[in-house]
Amino acid sequence: MSASLVEVRDLRVSFDGMPALRGVDLSVGRGEAVALVGESGCGKSVTWLAALGLLPAKAKVTGSVRLDGQELLGAAPAVLDHVRGGRVAMIFQDPASSLNPVHRIGRQLTEALRLHRGLSGGAAREEARRLLDQVGMPDARRRLDAYPHELSGGQNQRVMIAMALAGRPELLVADEPTTALDVTIQAQILELLAEIRRDTGMALVLISHDLGVVAETCDRVLILYAGRVVEETRTEQLFRAPAHPYAEGLLAALPPMGGPRRPLAAIPGSVPEPWAMPPGCPFSPRCSRRVAACDTVPPALRPVVEGHRAACIRPGGGQARRATALPELLPA
Ligand SMILES: Nc1ncnc2c1ncn2[C@@H]1O[C@H](COP(=O)(O)OP(=O)(O)O)[C@@H](O)[C@H]1O
Ligand SMILES: [Mg+2]
């Protein structure tokens, strides 16, 4: 048994020769909750779609993804079928795209239970009801006979989570699971995920473009930028002393307690397109701490302090929120 549940090493993905992931390394421990954060297009979804063999055939994927030591990249379809929905489950932003509109909720749940646990008949139906109960669905027994369109967005997301739990996964990858929901329901779904994790010991990867969403739910945060991990540390350490200027910007963009959401005003510009990747640090064109050396080679992910790594030659020293508000003009 290896130390981590999942080990991803030098994962690279390109589409039509254009790199989308440019060497991602990450690990997820048993029972651990890890956040994967970055603006849209950074490669968060592609990382897990590649890991689980869900990308279209035209995607070129290299590197290594091990589940409990077993290599998944290039594994036989039968092996991947067993892993997906079984040991590793994935839920997506939009339940409507994953639930079948013409089948009742109960039928979709019992089908998942048949596939992953070999349950059928009354046993499957009873377990489906239990799962709906577990995800906090009111009046679960009656809801088994409902169609997805008869439920609210938040209720459908609960059904998706119940479907994911049907296979008793060791890891749940939740890809922007609350983005389509309003703030109150979003908080309920995150609390539900945290609760299920406490009860089952399941590991969780929570993907979001919003650092605020994942902060309370996750032990550790990985920040992705332009297809690479640029910062990795424990959640409280990231909030106390972010090292990468991109992480500083994400933090500076968070709303004050109870205040309204703000756009990413602290970071002007946008993620570089794959065909226009700068030769040095991909964040350099947007960076307030940029010096000439930043534009020579992409910085490697290096330790800043114990348990905290960042891909920056001038990592910050804990005064991040102030530093981003007052862009420094330091000589090269
Ligand atoms: N099926 C695909 N074909 C071509 N390009 C893709 C495909 N899926 C993702 N990409 C590209 O890969 C990059 C990363 O995408 P993605 O992982 O979806 O970002 P996000 O961080 O928003 O989840 C983007 O530039 C996106 O356009
Ligand atoms: Mg995505």
Condensed to tens digits (0 to 9), the pLDDT of residues 195-207 reads 999 999 999 999 9
Q: Report how far residue 61's alpha carbon sits from residue 51's, in angstroms, rounded to the nearest whole number.
A: 9
Distance 13 CA to ligand 2 centre (A): 14
Q: Is the pLDDT of residue 332 over 70?
A: no
What is the pLDDT at residue 17?
Answer: 93
Distance 50 CA to ligand 2 centre (A): 12
Q: Is the CB of 45 under 6 A from ligand 1?
A: yes
Q: Is the pLDDT of residue 163 over 60?
A: yes
User: The domain 1-87+169-218: what is its CATH number?
Assistant: 3.40.50.300
Confidence of residue 181 (pLDDT cuts 50, 70, 90): confident
What residues are paired with 206 via a beta bridge?
A: 35, 174
What is the pLDDT at residue 178?
Answer: 85
Long-range contacts of 246-250 (CB under 8 A, 24+ apart): 246/283, 246/286, 246/287, 247/223, 247/310, 247/320, 248/316, 248/320, 248/321, 248/323, 248/324, 249/286, 249/324, 250/37, 250/211, 250/223
Q: Domain locations in the chain? A: 1-87+169-218, 98-168, 237-325
Q: Is the pLDDT of residue 329 over 50?
A: no
> Do the beta carbons of residue 267 and residue 246 sit within 8 Å?
yes
Closest CA to 244 of 322, 296, 318, 307: 318
What is the pLDDT at residue 265?
Answer: 59
Task: Dump strand ranges (E) for 33-130.
Answer: 33-37, 59-67, 70-71, 88-91
Nearest CA to ligand 1 atom 20: 41
DSSP structural state of residue 67: E
Q: Is the pLDDT of residue 299 over 90?
A: yes
What is the pLDDT at residue 293?
Answer: 95
What is the pLDDT at residue 92?
Answer: 82
Q: What is the mean pLDDT of residues 101-129?
A: 95
Distance 93 CA to ligand 1 centre (A): 15
What is the pLDDT at residue 93?
Answer: 76
Nearest CA to ligand 1 atom 25: 41
What is the pLDDT at residue 3?
Answer: 77
User: Which ligand is closest in space to the CA of residue 174?
Assistant: 2
Give φ, ψ of 19 to 5 degrees: -70, 130
Choose the weakest-confidence range: 7-11, 65-69, 96-100.
96-100
230-268 residue pLDDT tens:
999 999 999 999 999 999 999 988 877 666 665 555 688
Distance 43 CA to ligand 2 centre (A): 7
How much of the chain exceeds pLDDT 70, in percent? 91
Nearest CA to ligand 1 atom 14: 43
